[in-house]
Amino acid sequence: MSPALSFSALEILQGLLDKTKCQTIRPIGCDCGTCKKIGAMHLKENIVAVISGRQCGKNYLAKQAKHYFVKRTPRLKVGDKVKLYWKMRSKRKWFCRDCGKGLRGKDILTGKCCTNPFAITQEAKEHRFPKLLGTGEITEVFKIEMKSHEDGDGIVKYPEIGWWNGFSVKVQELAHKDGFDSVTKMFKWFDKHYNLSHPKRFAVYRWRWV
């Protein structure tokens, strides 16, 4: 079975639809003491443990932060053919291009959704997209670290070349390839979902659409 990547962030939906997005950034480890403890418990079974502060018995940043323990090595390699999905686990087969929500029943034909309630059938066909977005061939895999920074949006650490801020071409390229309109939006999204108050490790997967 081919490996798969699933997406659900509305911020990068248009980049997926027009195929300018050719990269994804996925967590590969957290250094907080809680995650190290949980990770040690599950290491032999190679299980992904996803826990929030409240669920692991600690109340700090419970509503803002999620802690992840996953395999510390990237799960994809150069040359892999990957199926790219929008909300892969959803039961819906068709989705709205504007809001990303799944269409059901007559909505599939009428295009009815939160932003397009009265579209005719032809418009509906242009306004919807299927769950399977396409296939990509992995062309590059590397690790980075990300954290917020008091002097700007955030900073990114690349292997062997150190930390770079949001004004650098490399970080701007990272945001663009990931489907974000700006570096600011990229850091805001990752800080919201991963709490970049301290460095977090990620794997970067880049692909070409095939």
Residue type, 8: S
In this predicted structure, the answer to whether residue 98 has a pLDDT above a threshold of 70 is yes
pLDDT at 40: 47
Is 15 a member of any domain? no
**Does 143 lie in the same domain as 201?**
yes
In this predicted structure, the answer to whether residue 83 has a pLDDT above a threshold of 70 is yes
**Does 30 lie in the same domain as 49?**
yes
Is 51 a member of any domain? yes
**Does 197 lie in the same domain as 101?**
no
Task: Spell out the alpha helix ranges (H) of the chain.
Answer: 13-17, 33-42, 107-110, 121-127, 169-177, 183-194
**Does 202 lie in the same domain as 173?**
yes
The pLDDT tens digits of the residues spanning 149-169 come to 876 678 898 877 788 888 888
**Does 71 lie in the same domain as 166?**
yes
Is 14 a member of any domain? no
Average pLDDT over residues 17-32: 85
In this predicted structure, the answer to whether residue 51 has a pLDDT above a threshold of 50 is no
Is 167 a member of any domain? yes
Average pLDDT of the chain is 77
Spell out a b/e string for 148-174, using b for 16 or more CB atoms within 10 Å of the CB, else e.
beeeebbbbbbeeeeebebeeeebbeb
**Does 56 lie in the same domain as 147?**
yes
Average pLDDT over residues 32-48: 45
**Does 46 lie in the same domain as 109?**
no
Single residue among 102, 130, 158 that ends a domain in this structure: 130
pTM for the structure as a whole: 0.77
In this predicted structure, the answer to whether residue 48 has a pLDDT above a threshold of 70 is no
CB 163 within 8 A of CB 157: yes
Is 185 a member of any domain? yes
**Does 70 lie in the same domain as 157?**
yes
Percent of the chain with pLDDT over 70: 68
Is 69 a member of any domain? yes
**Structural domain containing residue 75:** 4-9+20-86+134-209
The pLDDT tens digits of the residues spanning 164-187 come to 888 888 899 999 999 999 999 999
**Confidence at 111, pLDDT banded by 50, 70, 90:** low
Beta strands (DSSP E) in the chain are: 4-7, 23-29, 49-52, 66-69, 81-86, 94-96, 102-103, 128-130, 132-149, 152-158, 162-165, 200-209
Is 126 a member of any domain? yes
**Does 25 lie in the same domain as 125?**
no
pLDDT at 187: 92
In this predicted structure, the answer to whether residue 206 has a pLDDT above a threshold of 80 is yes
pLDDT at 19: 96
**Does 61 lie in the same domain as 37?**
yes
Instruction: Count up the domains in the chain and report the number.
Output: 2
> What is d(CA 148, CA 6) in angstroms, rounded to the nearest whole number?
26
Percent of the chain with pLDDT over 90: 40
**Does 110 lie in the same domain as 58?**
no
Is 121 a member of any domain? yes
| Long-range interactions of 14-18: CB distance < 8 A, separation 24+ | 14/179, 15/178, 15/179, 15/180, 16/84, 16/86, 16/133, 16/179, 17/97, 17/129, 17/133
Beta bridge partners of 86: 7
**Does 195 lie in the same domain as 142?**
yes
Burial class (CB in 10 A: 0-12, 13-18, 19+), 127: buried
